[in-house]
Chains A and B, each alone.
Chain A
Amino acid sequence: MDELDLTISPGERVLLLGASGAGKSTLLHALAGVLGGDDEGEHHGELLLDGVPPAERRGRAGLVLQDPDSQVILARVGDDVAFGCENLGVPRDEIWARVTEALDAVGLALPLDHPTSRLSGGQKQRLALAGVLAMRPGLLLLDEPTANLDAAGVREVRESVARVLDSTGATLVVVEHRVDVWLPLVDRVVVLAPGGGVLADGPAAEVLAQRGESLAASGVWVPGFPPPRPPRVRAVGAELLATETLAIGRAVTLHSNVESVVTAGTTLAITGENGAGKSTLGLTLAGLLPSRSGAVVACDALADGAGPHPIRWKSRELLTRIGTVFQDPEHQFLASTVRGELEVGPRALRMPASQITDRVDELLQRLRLDHLAAANPFTLSGGEKRRLSVATVLATQPRVLVLDEPTFGQDSRTWTELVALLAGLVDSGSAVVAITHDADFVAALADAELVL
């Protein structure tokens, strides 16, 4: 980010947009005064909050981040909300008055000693918001606070923010690439240019009318510019996986008598609320988690001599049969370069070296990762990590593909690419099982939907 000139007046509600890498998050962190010192990067120019550097006005700006899990600080709801006030030196009696008020404002009607570990994603984000509110900030900074939430969670958080702004009159700066979430709330849209500076700035309707198309092309979800949906052939093939009086769960049974069939040439979407056991079902179908009772049975066409129960297959036997893309791509990275990452599967299958090279080259190109072949997977952007995690699975050409929230927090460009890629795979005879709460994704791809 460079050459940025921006003035935000008290009480304004600003939506900050820009292509990924334009520095939206960096700007929010700088406004919150948590960007770190000179040892963590370089800066020039000046950023003032109420006329002084943000780090000197702690608590004046409150920041809510994207990941619900890493914002919970303490084990009890009340203590967590009180944390900011304690740090600001607020007297004890006033702290508890503020805690109750903040929890009311975000609509979290829970006992003060309720364990924070038992909150849903939406509740955790509202808790983080309450923790920020209790500090009575004049400026509310939200960094994609709803990107990891299901539809109900998104609504919860937005309504809480709306209520808070109306009652406190605080200034809002929100970063989000799904414009429709915040459009009803904001009065000004600022678009950051990728190289630095401001691309557009003005009333929301005006900016979106002018810049909507180019914003949509750069990956922002703009209402009225839906990403293109791929054409589908829809040729239903043979049955590959089926359940037999299946009960799923890790430590305790979450669901019993789950009925589902995975068929070649189709996409099965597993939907349901956060915590309903969608991931558990996906991992059980993928032959990774044992069932609580009953079984997942592979038909002969898929088993190909490996036996009827995927959970008993060898790790290597899974590669060509069922591939799994995890929700967090970082969980499945094994190598120190992108190329190495793609070679893991084919090597485990003991494919000849020349064939491995061909296949990896083809995937690198198809998923626009060729310029990153030598990069470390952990250093990639969110969209690149997602593309790589899908590519690693495609490298061994499994007949069934299980994906856990493949479009979570992705910009519209990555979304479009992923959907097109998966549509191509399904229409060429693979089966896709997708755990998702993305309604657009279900509409574009699903042939069957299982609601948990």
Chain B
Amino acid sequence: MTDLLTPTRGTQVIYRVNPVAKLAAAFLLSACLVVSIDWVSAAVALVLESVLFFFAGVSARTFFIRTLPVWIAAPLTAVTIALYGQTSGQVYFEFLFARVSDGSLELALATLLRVLAIGLPAVVLFLTVDPTDLADGLAQVVKLPSRFVLGALAALRLVGLFLDDWKSLELARRARGVGDTGRIRRLAGQAFALLVLSIRRGSKLATAMEARAFGAPVTRTWARESRFGAREWLLVGLGGLIGVAAIVTSVSMGHWNFIAG
């Protein structure tokens, strides 16, 4: 079976931090950073975060591989903003609707740093999250309904089976003589077949869960306690602190650029 949900394990402290705290920290930081578009606040946040990445529990190689999408998305967004962003100051280059100016370049830089400052910590924090621990946290700390959380967790395990199903479906189409032409139509048919298979697998899993008293009319206990203690508050605090530091620096330097304003 395709290994998708092998438990995430590591020796560093960060692996033992409750995933809910990671979620909260990433959320708090993003909330501070999305209210303004200026390069100072994003740069401050990014510098502070870079220090923390050393404690993130991932090697440099893993870090760059897993955050690659962010590194690609950030410059692409920046280029778009540089070409089409709000014009002000000196205009350097003009072509059709594109106009590169002092203003659009500053906005582009601000956007580049912002995407990195929000994207990198989010990806890094989630690299060390084990889905089971996250579900425990969501149910026990955030108090989301356990039926919903555990159902989603069990369903997530099926994704690995679906990947295997998809590969088999693809090979089977070649074997049946319909693999040469009509790729789009074939993909649609394959997607439908996967849907049918997934509903079957889903209902089998539901029966297996029900057979283990899932949904029994008693108060459920939890074999694994999801703790939210000093370590967790520290991480959330750090997230908030970086956000506040970024805002304070930016406002005091007069660069603060509130979006709604």
User: Taking beta carbons and an 8 Å cutoff, which residues of A are in contact with B?
Assistant: 29, 32, 34, 58-59, 62-63, 65, 67, 69-76, 78-79, 82-92, 95-96, 99, 113, 115, 117-118, 128, 131-132, 135, 283, 286, 288-289, 314-316, 318-319, 323-324, 326, 328, 330-334, 344-345, 348-349, 378, 392-393, 396
Given A117-B3, A334-B189, A70-B208 contact (CB < 8 Å): yes
Question: Contact check: which of B3, B6, B180 meets A315 at CB < 8 Å?
Answer: B180
Which of B27-35, B76-84, B167-175 forms part of the interface with chain A? B167-175
> B1-19, CB under 8 A of A: which get 1 and which 0?
1011111010000000000
Return the 4 tightest CB-CB contacts between A and B, nearest first.
Answer: A315-B179, A348-B177, A84-B212, A82-B223
Residue of A nearest to B217 (CB): A58
B171 A289 Cβ-Cβ under 8 A? yes
Question: Contact check: which of A32, A99, A318, A378 meets B177 at CB < 8 Å?
Answer: A318
Question: Contact check: which of B157, B161, B221 meets A75 at CB < 8 Å?
Answer: B157
B175 A324 Cβ-Cβ under 8 A? yes
Given A29-B207, A349-B177, A69-B1 contact (CB < 8 Å): yes
Chain B's nearest CB lies how many Å from the CB of A275? 10
Given A58-B213, A58-B216, A115-B3, A65-B174 contact (CB < 8 Å): no
The interface residues of chain B lying within 8 Å CB-to-CB of A90 are 221
B208 A65 Cβ-Cβ under 8 A? yes
Given A67-B204, A314-B180, A332-B172 contact (CB < 8 Å): yes
- Docked complex: B118-147 residues within 8 A CB-CB of A: 130-132
B175 A332 Cβ-Cβ under 8 A? yes
Most chain B CB neighbours (cut-off 10 Å) among A58, A65, A84: A58
B7 A113 Cβ-Cβ under 8 A? yes
B216 A88 Cβ-Cβ under 8 A? yes
Chain A's nearest CB lies how many Å from the CB of B175? 4
Given A79-B224, A328-B168, A344-B178 contact (CB < 8 Å): yes
Chain A's nearest CB lies how many Å from the CB of B154? 5
Q: How many A-B residue pairs have CB under 8 A?
A: 177
A87 B220 Cβ-Cβ under 8 A? yes
Given A344-B177, A345-B177, list of 7 further CB < 8 A pairs?
A70-B204, A71-B208, A73-B205, A74-B153, A95-B221, A135-B213, A344-B178
Chain B's nearest CB lies how many Å from the CB of A441? 21
- Docked complex: B205-255 residues within 8 A CB-CB of A: 205, 207-225
A79 B132 Cβ-Cβ under 8 A? yes
The interface residues of chain B lying within 8 Å CB-to-CB of A344 are 176-178
Given A71-B208, A87-B216, A331-B168 contact (CB < 8 Å): yes
Chain A's nearest CB lies how many Å from the CB of B35? 38
Residue of A nearest to B205 (CB): A70
Is there a chain A Cβ closer than 8 Å to B152's Cβ? Answer: no
Chain B's nearest CB lies how many Å from the CB of A58? 4
Is there a chain A Cβ closer than 8 Å to B201's Cβ? Answer: yes
Is there a chain A Cβ closer than 8 Å to B187's Cβ? Answer: no
The interface residues of chain B lying within 8 Å CB-to-CB of A135 are 212-213
Bound CA–CA A330/B221 (angstroms) = 39
User: Taking beta carbons and an 8 Å cutoff, which residues of B are in contact with A?
Assistant: 1, 3-7, 9, 130-132, 153-154, 157, 160-161, 165, 168-169, 171-180, 189, 193, 196-197, 200-201, 204-205, 207-225
A63 B157 Cβ-Cβ under 8 A? no
Chain A's nearest CB lies how many Å from the CB of B64? 22
The interface residues of chain B lying within 8 Å CB-to-CB of A74 are 132, 153-154, 157
B208 A128 Cβ-Cβ under 8 A? yes
B208 A132 Cβ-Cβ under 8 A? no
A92 B175 Cβ-Cβ under 8 A? no
The interface residues of chain B lying within 8 Å CB-to-CB of A59 are 213, 216
A76 B212 Cβ-Cβ under 8 A? no
B212 A75 Cβ-Cβ under 8 A? no
Question: Contact check: which of A71, A117, A334 meets B160 at CB < 8 Å?
Answer: A117
A76 B7 Cβ-Cβ under 8 A? yes
Bound CA–CA A87/B211 (angstroms) = 11
The interface residues of chain A lying within 8 Å CB-to-CB of B197 are 330-331
What are 10 A-B contacts with C-beta separation under 8 Å?
A: A34-B211, A73-B209, A75-B131, A75-B132, A75-B157, A128-B208, A315-B177, A330-B200, A331-B169, A334-B178
Chain B's nearest CB lies how many Å from the CB of A21? 19
Chain B's nearest CB lies how many Å from the CB of A208? 29
The interface residues of chain A lying within 8 Å CB-to-CB of B224 are 79, 82
Question: Contact check: which of A73, A88, A315 meets B174 at CB < 8 Å?
Answer: A315
Question: Contact check: which of A78, A88, A334 meets B176 at CB < 8 Å?
Answer: A334
A89 B201 Cβ-Cβ under 8 A? no
Given A65-B207, A71-B208, A91-B221, A115-B6 contact (CB < 8 Å): yes
Chain B's nearest CB lies how many Å from the CB of A378? 6
Given A95-B223, A316-B180, A333-B193, A73-B212 contact (CB < 8 Å): yes
The interface residues of chain B lying within 8 Å CB-to-CB of A393 are 175
Chain B's nearest CB lies how many Å from the CB of A180? 26
Question: Contact check: which of A87, A289, A348 meets B212 at CB < 8 Å?
Answer: A87
A32 B211 Cβ-Cβ under 8 A? yes
Bound CA–CA A231/B207 (angstroms) = 44
The interface residues of chain A lying within 8 Å CB-to-CB of B216 are 58-59, 87-89
